[in-house]
């Protein structure tokens, strides 16, 4: 079966066709994955402007879907279902994708499958690597999310911890802005960090020992917090006399990145030890970070536990991961009625 996936949760308009392979170990194959990025639109504002994002989705979505179908040589009659990101995300952006998916599902007589955006990121690991050895602990880390999930069986995602404040990707963007760098900040900081001294600036790490009052079901000691680290960078920049040199910016970037990556990896592998995981994974936009990719694989080899990552294309928001998660849900019997609504705060 082939499924059309649609993703419009933030500032990428994406459509993809994913097909079942019939193989248990590698269940899905990507036939097309088209992404229209809005980075050039939002760069001049220093971040995503929700109203501009939703307007651009409206302009792009028809062409993106048509291209995804053409590149996969797929007709509407070849599809078995339509999957769409229901949430979380920017509500205006989500509504464009959900409305379009409902319209084409109704017109083509296809089942409609709602997908959680983070489930898509988790399933991107399966799309790239095949089924993971279970149980697995997966870190989903992006501009809006930093969370650990326990996957005990296919399609089951148990939240273990989350960030108490800034997501890791959000911290990258804010630090990039403090250093006078462009948007999006993550790739720029990552590039500059490769030429800097990661021990040049003494920055704090955060270790939480008390439960999160906003999430009483979570113990809390595996949670993340990056606001203090961001504030420490701010104070360091303000204390510096005169404009920052290129070497100083590189040193700050490297020192900041070292703390973020070590925090993410330490929590990930501690959770794997605690829950006796047979594999770990990292997904989401920040999984494209070069230091994070290198160190998670190195730590996995040292701990003798398989560590999985998506390709760089599947790391950022894309519709192929939504289609894969949609196939998982569809085979579990999950579909939605045509009164489906977007949910900006949808929980997993």
Give the model's confidence band at 168: pLDDT under 50 very low, under 70 low, under 90 confident, else very high: very high
Containing structural domain, residue 284: 133-305
Question: Average pLDDT of 287-301?
Answer: 96
Per-residue pLDDT tens digits for 111-155: 999 999 999 999 999 999 999 999 999 999 998 899 999 999 999
Tokens at 257, concatenated: 């990145």
Identify the CATH number of the domain in which residue 76 sits.
3.30.420.40
How far is 164 from 228, CA to CA, in rounded Å? 11
State what percent of residues in the chain have pLDDT above 90: 87
C-alpha torsion 309→310→315→317, nearest 10:
-130
Q: Are strands 112-116 and 79-87 parallel, antiparallel or unpaired?
A: parallel
Per-residue pLDDT tens digits for 215-243: 655 667 899 999 999 999 999 988 887 78
Say yes or no: 242 and 99 in one domain: no
In degrees and rounded to multiples of 5, residue 309 shows phi and psi of: -135, 155
Say yes or no: 301 and 209 in one domain: yes
Say yes or no: 188 and 285 in one domain: yes
Say yes or no: 179 and 38 in one domain: no
What is the predicted pLDDT for the residue at 204? 85
The answer to whether position 20 is within a domain reads yes
């Amino acid at each position: 079966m082939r499924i059309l996936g649609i993703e419009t949760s933030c500032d990428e308009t994406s459509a993809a066709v994913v097909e079942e392979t019939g193989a248990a170990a590698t269940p899905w194959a990507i036939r097309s994955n088209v992404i229209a990025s809005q980075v050039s639109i939002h760069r001049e504002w220093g971040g995503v402007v929700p109203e501009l994002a939703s307007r651009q989705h409206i302009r792009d979505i028809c062409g993106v879907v048509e291209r995804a179908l053409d590149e996969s040589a797929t007709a509407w009659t070849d599809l078995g279902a339509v999957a769409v990101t229901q949430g979380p995300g920017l509500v205006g952006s989500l509504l464009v994708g959900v409305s379009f998916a409902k319209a084409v599902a109704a017109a083509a007589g296809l089942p409609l499958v709602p997908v959680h955006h983070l489930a898509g990121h988790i399933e991107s690991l399966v799309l790239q690597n095949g089924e993971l050895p279970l149980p697995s602990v997966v870190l989903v880390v992006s501009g809006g999310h930093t969370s650990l999930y326990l996957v005990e069986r296919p399609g089951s995602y148990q939240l273990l911890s989350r960030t108490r404040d800034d997501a890791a990707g959000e911290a990258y963007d804010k630090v990039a802005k403090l250093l006078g760098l462009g948007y999006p900040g993550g790739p720029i900081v990552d590039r500059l960090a490769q030429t800097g001294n990661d021990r040049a600036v003494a920055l704090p790490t955060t270790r939480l020992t008390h439960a999160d009052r906003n999430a009483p079901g979570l113990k809390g000691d595996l949670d993340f917090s990056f606001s203090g680290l961001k504030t420490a960078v701010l104070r360091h920049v303000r204390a510096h006399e005169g404009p920052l040199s290129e070497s100083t910016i590189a040193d700050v970037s490297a020192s900041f990145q070292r703390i973020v990556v070590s925090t993410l990896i330490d929590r990930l592998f501690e959770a794997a030890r605690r829950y006796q995981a047979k594999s770990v994974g990292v997904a989401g936009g920040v999984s494209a970070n070069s230091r994070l990719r290198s160190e998670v694989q190195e730590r996995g080899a040292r701990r003798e536990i398989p560590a999985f990552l998506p390709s760089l294309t599947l790391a950022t928001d894309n519709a192929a991961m939504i289609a894969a998660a949609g196939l998982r849900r569809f085979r579990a019997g999950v579909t939605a009625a045509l009164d489906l609504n977007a949910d900006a705060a949808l929980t997993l």
